[in-house]
Amino acid sequence: MFASNLVFQLRLVPRMISLSSVRFAGHNKWSNIRHVKAAKDVAKGQIINRHLLLIKHAITSSGGVVDPKINDKLADALAEARKAEVPAATIERTLKRALEKKAKPFLFELVGPGNSYILVEGETDNLGSTRSTVKQQLRDFKGLYNWAREGALKHLFIQRGVVKISRTDKDGNEIDFDAAEVIGIEAGAEEISVPEEEEESKRNKDADAEANITWDLMVSKDDLFRVKGFIEKNRPDLVIKDFCIEYFPRSYVEIDDKAIQKLSELVDALDEIAEVQKIYVNIK
């Protein structure tokens, strides 16, 4: 979701991959805040939510086709959800809601503290009610944010797929950058990224967080399942920690510590809303 401006061009043939600190990056204080937030997200069942989001994305990107026999992306998403032991009833409920078209995806665009840009992604069966809920939830932040007109900020972000692989294989052997580079080339990744909050945990010797440090393979959103499937088929020794489709800023802004704190509080408030599934900002 978040990115730094550290990009190193690598010596690669036949495909060039850049190593960059892409998400949760740049400002240490922000990284620490988001690291705590990430742990909270896991506790709330975000792993299941990611699979449900991928199912919904497969349906919406196909124009509403809910038959996996003619929607290959949906078939892949369903297979991955079942592999991750997402409850069958939850999957069926998601498909039923999509078929009935009661719930629809939304993307709210906000200008936040320090002139930061915020995208709020989710799903609702009553857009007006959800918008009112957001306004009510943010009542304590009056003057710190503004609603942007639809589409005003979305084009300043790009959607990409992310496949996160553990830096140790199933036998406990370390996977260094050179090995990750080869994996990325073979799988067809566009970039390898190093989330800075993970590097920060490593420097601080946070054992629990360090166990979850990954190499992130950045791919086109349409290539997410292909790249993931390639790794699972050709490198069964690897551990895929997570995979998802996310928005990434095309450019970034720097804000001061006070604005960072207010932004973090605002994001936490948004995250308490049931219909909200993901939140993105464009700060360093």
Q: Is residue 1 part of a domain?
A: no
CA torsion 255-40-160-191 (nearest 10°) is 80
pLDDT reading at 33 higher than 50: yes
Q: What is the reported pLDDT for 196?
A: 58
Q: What is the mean pLDDT of residues 42-64?
A: 73
Question: In this predicted model, which residue has the larger pLDDT, 176 or 61?
Answer: 176
User: 133: which residues sit within 8 A by CB, 6+ positions away?
Assistant: 273, 275
Q: Look at residue 280 and give its three-state secondary structure.
A: strand
pLDDT tens digit sequence for 54-81: 888 788 777 778 889 988 889 988 998 8
Share of the chain above pLDDT 90, in %: 43
Number of folded domains that form the chain:
1
Q: What is the reported pLDDT for 22?
A: 33
pLDDT reading at 17 higher than 80: no
Q: If you average pLDDT over every residue of the chain, what do you get?
A: 79
68 — phi, psi (to 5°)?
Answer: -65, -15
Q: What is the reported pLDDT for 104?
A: 79
Question: In this predicted model, which residue has the larger pLDDT, 208 or 125?
Answer: 125
pLDDT tens digit sequence for 213-247: 899 999 999 999 899 999 999 999 999 888 888 89
Tokens standing for 63?
């124009």
Q: What is the mean pLDDT of residues 106-133?
A: 92
Q: Is residue 210 part of a domain?
A: yes
Per 3-state DSSP, the chain is made up of helix, strand and coil in percentages (nearest 5) of 45, 25, 30
Expressed as residue numbers, the domain containing 100 is 7-281
Length of the chain: 284
Least confident range from 25-34, 118-127, 213-222: namely 25-34
Q: Is residue 207 part of a domain?
A: yes
Q: What is the reported pLDDT for 46?
A: 61
Q: Is residue 14 part of a domain?
A: yes
In contact, 282 and 249? CB cutoff 8 Å: yes
For the chain, state the CA radius of gyration: 19
pLDDT reading at 153 higher than 80: yes
Q: Is residue 60 part of a domain?
A: yes
Q: What is the reported pLDDT for 234?
A: 95
pLDDT reading at 27 higher than 80: no
Q: Is residue 117 part of a domain?
A: yes
Q: What 8-state DSSP symbol labels residue 32?
A: H
38 — phi, psi (to 5°)?
Answer: -60, -40
Q: Is residue 258 part of a domain?
A: yes
Q: What is the mean pLDDT of residues 182-206?
A: 72
Q: Is residue 2 part of a domain?
A: no
